[in-house]
Amino acid sequence: MKASKVTDLAGLAKLRSELKAQAEKSERERIEAERRAREAAAEADIFRRTVGEVAPLVVPPRAKIARDVPQPLPLQTQQDEKAVLVEAISDEFDPETLLDTDESLSFCRPGVRGDVVKKLRSGTWIVQAQLDLHGLRSDEAREALGAFLREAVKHGLRCVRVIHGKGLGSVGREPVLKGKVRRWLAQKEEVIAFCQARPHDGGAGAVVVLLQPSTQFAKEGEKLQSPPRDPGKNR
């Protein structure tokens, strides 16, 4: 019984000692924290007195610069148009199988009045745009011609000139593009007729092309077509 009381008293004494040590540690930490706070406040006060009064910098407003957003490029459409162009124009096509031709490299589509080529040759229609194929390879010239005709029709042009050259700079001095341009033009539905250009417009080195009118010029184009025959007129 006495041994048990002695043990309990020893435990209480140890607990009291631990609690006292913790209280002393907490007090020391509190005092240290207060000291650091006073030092920080003193340093801040010294800094403020040294620097003096300050004012925020006056920053002018930034100019808003409008950015030019580049137009999206219709790459797929361009590739599709190029593919259609390659398929639609062939070097193997013989225009003589479908068109009336003559030695001066002129033709008009069936159903078009016969005097259309004559008027085209005489300069009735004013040349509104031209394409110069000098220096281009055959495939480049074919692609350029197709793109040129599309743009011309899109803008409502009726008469254009295509300069293919006389072949003076070619091997054998043969006009390579001259025959190719003839075949290519014959395969384009928008081409009504073409003929060799007049001497002052390029002569044998160029052709003048008459194009189908766009939708807005449809009435004008109808005048170029042969009028329908009256079945009862010759009875």
Token pair belonging to 150: 């599309």
Q: Quick one: residue 34, left, alpha or beta (phi over 0 = left, psi -120 to 50 = alpha)?
A: alpha
Does pTM top 0.85 for this prediction?
Answer: no
State the average pLDDT for the chain. Answer: 76
Rounded CA-CA distance 213/221 in Å is: 6
**Among 164, 165, 216, 157, residue whose Cα is nearest residue 192:** 157
DSSP state for residue 167 in the 8-state scheme: S
pLDDT digits (tens, 9 = 90+) for 100-150: 445 566 778 878 877 888 898 888 999 999 999 988 998 999 999 999 999
Confidence tier at 183 by pLDDT (50, 70, 90)? confident
Distance CA 166, CA 57 (A): 74
Q: Summarize pLDDT for 75-85 with one digit per residue, the tens.
A: 766 665 555 55
Q: Report pLDDT for 162.
A: 95
With vertex at residue 177, the alpha carbon angle to CA 174 and CA 178, rounded to the nearest 5 degrees, is 80
Q: In this structure, are residues 146 and 107 in contact, taking their beta carbons and an 8 Å threshold?
A: no
Whether pLDDT at 46 is above 80: yes
pLDDT at 108: 82
Residue pair 205/163 in contact (Cβ under 8 Å)? The answer is yes
Determine the structural domain holding residue 104 and report its residue range. Answer: 98-222
Q: Are 194 and 120 in contact (CB under 8 A)?
A: yes
The CATH number linked to 153 is 3.30.1370.110
**pLDDT above 90 as % of the chain:** 21
Q: Any idea which of 24-33, 52-61, 178-187 has the lowest mean pLDDT?
A: 52-61
Name the residue with higher pLDDT: 63 or 94.
63
- Distance from CA of residue 164 to its chain's centroid? 28
Euclidean distance between the first and the last CA atom of the chain, given in angstroms as a whole number: 155
193 located within any domain: yes
Dist CA 229 CA 189 (whole Å) = 24
Has residue 201 been placed in a domain?
Answer: yes
Does an H or E element contain 150, and which?
helix 138-154
Residue 159 within any structural domain of the chain: yes
Q: What is the rounded CA–CA span in Å between residue 27 and residue 35? A: 12
- 5 domain-assigned: no
Closest CA to 202 of 147, 131, 99, 119: 131
pLDDT mean over 2-21 = 74
Determine the Cα–Cα distance for residues 181 and 145; give it in Å rounded to an integer. 8
Is the distance from CB of 224 to CB of 158 less than 8 angstroms?
A: no
- Rounded distance between C-alpha atoms, residue 126 and residue 157, angstroms: 10
What is the percent of the chain with per-residue pLDDT over 70, rounded to a whole number? Answer: 71
Query: Considering its fold, how many domains does the chain have in total?
Result: 1
Bridge partners (DSSP) listed for residue 225:
112
Which of the four pLDDT bands, split at 50, 70 and 90, describes residue 230? very low
